[in-house]
Structure 1
């Protein structure tokens, strides 16, 4: 089951039903079953505290993904998204907010499907996959 929440902020995801269908379609096209997946929208400060507490990182980020799956090929997790950071990134990259939000949402999903961005080459591959996924929205 796919759910959207907000934590300590008032945020409603634009087009939640269309977004849910899109995420489910991407999951299925990659050969994954979608289990319990939660997107939690929050502020920079809220996500910074999660980053410090669970990852021992003291910096702002747009997304943190926690993989809760116990079965191969099944997606389950919690994806925290800083709405503040997404807004700032949209301005910085000259994108509209909704497109940048979709990019971040799919970025977290790709992490749960074993895509990684730990090197320049892998970042390039992940960005290309994000671009491909955005075409299907």
Structure 2
């Protein structure tokens, strides 16, 4: 069973308490890590791998998105792998960082007619997969990533967030 060391930082008002977010993140990422190890053959080191999650807002994530991706607009989640790896390759001791924007998550959840927690869960899984080298730049990559997300979300009791949609590649965002 993979071991994770999850560090949580809440940097914007309006989020649940740090303890609640840490508990939700631990549940979600543990299920995702177990799925990756069991179903996808993802290796994990014997020691815990560190994941940092920053819960922030649109203003901060817009600045990060502009600096690192050249897109001067808020987004829902950003991931920054500590070391570049491909799916199925051994991660290092530090997996990387996930940054989530509350206002965008709220807005998208309302637009998608989902609960905030269900959408946040999806975005945590999405961001976590990026740390393992999953991507959605090309359609075939998007299909693989979305299928893996959907199977993990099913283990968490959530429905397919992509049902009835074409794969979303990063060139469209």
8 Å Cα contact 1:66/1:79 also seen in 2? yes
User: Please, what TM-score do these two structures have when normalized by structure 2?
Assistant: 0.69
Distance 1:69 1:110, change over 3 A: same
Structure with more strand by fraction: 1
What per-residue deviation string (whole Å, max 9, x for no partner) do you get for residues 30-77 of structure 1? 224351101101111110001112222212211110101378522610
Find 1:73's aligned residue among 90, 93, 113.
90
**3-state SS, counterpart of residue 79 of structure 2:** strand
Query: How big is the alpha-carbon RMSD for the aligned residues of Structure 1 and Structure 2?
Result: 2.3
Which aligned pairs between 1:1-137 and structure 2 lie closer than 5 A?
Answer: 1-12=5-16, 14=20, 16-17=22-23, 19-30=25-36, 31-33=42-44, 34-69=48-83, 72-74=89-91, 76-137=95-156
Structure 1 segments (4+ residues) deviating >3 Å = 13-16, 69-72
Q: Which runs of 5+ in 1 are unaligned?
A: none
Q: Which residue of 1 aligns with 2:171?
A: none
What is the rounded CA distance, in whole Å, between the counterparts of 1:106 and 1:8 in structure 2?
Answer: 21
CA apart distance, 1:131: 1.8
How far does the alpha carbon of each residue in 1:74-115 deviate from its partner, in whole angstroms, 9 at most, with x for none?
261011001111111111111111100000000001111221
